[in-house]
Amino acid sequence: MESQRVAVIIEDDTDIRDLLHAVLQQSGFEVHASPNGSEGVEAVRRHNPAVVTLDLGLPDIDGFEVIRQLRQFSDAYIVMLTARAEELDTLMGLEAGADDYVTKPFRPRELRARISAMLRRPRTTAEPVAGQGVPGAAVPAQVPAMVPSAEEGVYRHNGLVLDSGTRSTEIGGRQIALTRTEFDLLQALLSGGRRVRTKPDLVRRLRGEEYDTGSYISDADERTIEVHVGNLRRKLGDDSRAPRWLETVRGVGYRLAPEQG
């Protein structure tokens, strides 16, 4: 059971917590607020929110550990709140599995924009269970070489199968647990084929913008894409120097690697 309209706030500063509470409530969320990491993890377990806002500097466990614990069981959209000076922390948080961040002091409008962009994206339906196998499932003896095609929303490329209907990804019959951000990026690249997807293009995609609407995209937004692609490669077991799936086009963006015979 999950609710599109439940949010959990993990924040030890009372003023910021109250502000976040007001902003999220105005956006129509049922809000649960926790003053520290361990209570926050429990709140996410209990309420299964669509959105988590997370302060990285917490009194008990550090924010990165909170993200790692949440990613064991939750595919909530995790937005970190970071101080402007903490760029390295932001990158580490994204590597640990957070989706996005806003810097403090944040403008309520900015947070609302991030969250409404997230709500435009579809929700993962397959539970991201670590090490999940499908007992008794028929695993094809061999995955035929296929060009990426969008037949019924199923993409296949070099042994990888992504099903946008069930929002699941597998390689040789083995399920790969991806966050929704990683899934959306992978789908964007599979659907683009050998056409290069620029980083701003991918930022827009994650914001739920179908095409260039002229919204501002910062260097930090582009670095966020680089970190998510790095995470994706690690989970897929892809090698950036000899890619099976994600090829870097230096200084521009990414595209699908060539089909291997």
- By the criterion CB under 5 A, which residues form the site for Ca ion? 12, 55, 57
- Which CB atom, from 57 or from 193, has the smaller least distance to Ca ion? 57
Minimum distance between the CB of residue 21 and Ca ion, rounded to whole angstroms?
Answer: 15
Q: Give the C-alpha separation, 112 to 120, whole Å.
A: 12
Nearer to Ca ion, 12 or 62 (CB): 12
Nearer to Ca ion, 82 or 169 (CB): 82
3-state secondary structure of 104: strand
**What are residue 102's phi and psi, to 5 degrees?**
-130, 145
Q: Residue with the closest Cβ to Ca ion?
A: 57
**Distance of closest approach, residue 104 Cβ to Ca ion, in angstroms:** 9
If the CB atoms of residues 12 and 222 are measured against Ca ion, the closer one turns out to be 12
Q: How far is CA 247 from CA 106, 150, 186, 206, in A?
A: 35, 20, 12, 19
Least Cβ distance, residue 79 to Ca ion (angstroms) = 15
Minimum distance from CB of 210 to Ca ion (Å)?
37
- Our separate counts of H helices and E strands in the chain read 8, 12
What letter does residue 106 receive in the DSSP assignment?
P
Considering beta carbons, is residue 12 or 87 the nearer one to Ca ion?
A: 12
> 242: which residues sit within 8 A by CB, 6+ positions away?
none
Least Å from the CB of residue 19 to Ca ion: 13
Angle between helices 87-96 and 219-236 (to 10 degrees): 30
Compute the distance between CA of residue 27 and CA of residue 113 in angstroms, rounded to an integer.
10
